[in-house]
Each structure stands twice: as C-alpha cells, then as structure tokens.
Amino acid sequence: MHKLSTESLCNEAEKLRDECKSETVRTTSTELEKILYKTIPVLDHGFIRVIDYMGTDSSIVQAARVSYGAGTKKAQEDRSLINYLMRHHHSSPFEMCEIKLHVKMPIFVARQWIRHRTASINEYSSRYSILNNEFYIPKIEQLRAQSKTNKQGKSDEQLSKNCLEEILDILKKSNSEAHERYSHLLHDLSLTRELARTILPVSVYTEMYWKINLRNLMHFLKLRTDSHAQYEIRCYAIEILGILEKWLPFAYEAFMNYRHESIFLPKKCTDILKQMLKGKKINPEESGLSKGEWQELAAAFDIDEQI
C-alpha cells in the first residue's frame, strides 16, 4: 500500500530543485524560476507548488506578431501590445503560455476547482493509495450563518461563542471518527480502498497536478479571486495571482487593469451614465433597470441610490 506523505513529497521537490543544473535556450522567467518547486502554504494543510511553465511576456507578443526570436521590440512596446490585446479581447496570443501547478486542497475545494474544465488535471488516486488523516478545519472567523438572501453564501451575522465552540468541536470529532472508521475498514476488515474512502467527508485533503494556459487561467482568477467566491478557493486563487505577477509581469498588469478590476456594463447602464454625466437626474424606479442592476451600478460608481 502507498500512503501519501506531504513532507516526503515536499522534500523530494526541494531535492529536485537543488539538483537541477540544466541549461536552456528557451525563454525563462527569472522571478518564477526562483520559486519553482517551492511550497506555498495555503489553508491549514494545503499548498501550491509551481512544477513547470512555458512562455513569458515575450511569448505573447511574438505570437501576436507571428515573429521569431526574442527582443524584436523594446520592452515598452511589448507592454503596450499586451495592454492592447487584453483591452480588445484578442485572446489567442495568451494561450501561448502555460503553467503546471501541484496543488493540495480539501476535496470540496477541488470539486469547485474542476468546474474550470479548460485545463488538464491528474488527481491523487485514493483507489490506489491511502489518504492521510488531514482534514480542513475553518478558522473561527470564517464560521458564519447561512445568508438569507444568497443561497450559496454566508451572512455577516455573528454566531455566539458557545455556538462557535460547538461547531468546531463537531467538525473535529466528525473528521477524527471518519478517519478511524476508514482505517478500520481498510486494515481490520480488509475492505478495498475504493469503497473504504466513501466514508470520508469532503473536508479531507486531496492533491492534483493542474496544467492550464494563460487565457483560461485568467478566467479562473477573475472568478475565484472575486469577493463573492468561497473563501477557501479564494485563498488559493490569491496565491496563484501572486505567481502570475512573478511569471508574466506585463500580462499581470494588463489583467489587473482590464479584467480583474474592471466591470462589465450593459448598454442600458452606459446610457444612464451618459445622461447622468449631462446633469440629468435618474430615478431608480424609472431607470428601466432591475433592483439588482441598479444596486450594482450604484455600488460601482458611488451613486446615491435615492437619486
């Protein structure tokens, strides 16, 4: 039987990094090379590690120009071109860059993660190997009541101290009991691993290799770093955003400016803004927008909702 050992995997990755003395003529990212194979902790037992990558900012501009060789333009011209591509949604040049990550996360996070289907994934097999006694336990500040208006989110309502303590106690005991029964099924009752694992909750940690091109990575980051994304997957996305900055500084800058921190406005919203810029007062009830659309517009532009 093969048992997962995160510590041994981390040591092996560090050893690979230390032993790697290869030279290459391909374009490389100096800053990303510094963290290659290094472990970036996430949550209580999780991590992200960059395993491999292809391309740099120059790869994007070379693809757009369909030219050969590095240094065909000045850096400032490269930045301007990447900004133009991002601004006008010319997406195929961004597909020339790829990255492969080794990620360890709770299974419920992995199930959200694989909703992004435009990637190559190979997950740790609990049919072949035994899962460790590692479960995600939320920080106490993340424990909130269910939102009454958002069916997939939490409210700002504070739970009582007694309630919080009971929740944490239930989570810890439930995880511990589940792993004890899992081990009992495996070792004492000789049940096959593929069925013994069915007793484990989705808080147990799994691992996967995840390879994705830059275009689809930016879509992942746009959605999963958003404040409405679940906290746990957002923690991973924020770390990956930092990796992107080291890897492709020009593309990162353009992404943050034109995608990540930008907003989408339907035509009827832009029409209202044009009228407001001309001094016309718009009544929410007469704007033609739904309540939700008006609230989003008001929040984006600091508009008094009572105008």
Per-residue pLDDT, 11? 67
- Of the pLDDT bands very low, low, confident and very high (cuts 50, 70, 90), residue 14 is low
Any long-range contacts for 121-125 (C-beta under 8 Å, 24+ apart)? 121/208, 121/209, 121/210, 121/211, 122/208, 122/209, 123/206, 123/207, 123/208, 124/4, 124/206, 124/207, 124/208
Kindly report, residue by residue over 165-193, the tens digit of the pLDDT: 999 999 999 999 999 999 999 999 999 99
**CA 47 – CA 9 distance, rounded (Å):** 12
Note the pTM of the prediction, 2 decimals: 0.84
Which of 15, 299, 292 has the alpha carbon at shortest distance from 150? 292
Per-residue pLDDT, 31? 96
List the catalytic residue out of 79, 224, 234, 259.
Answer: 224
Per-residue pLDDT, 127? 86
State yes or no: is 224 an active-site residue. yes
In the predicted structure, residue 67 carries a pLDDT above the cut 60: no
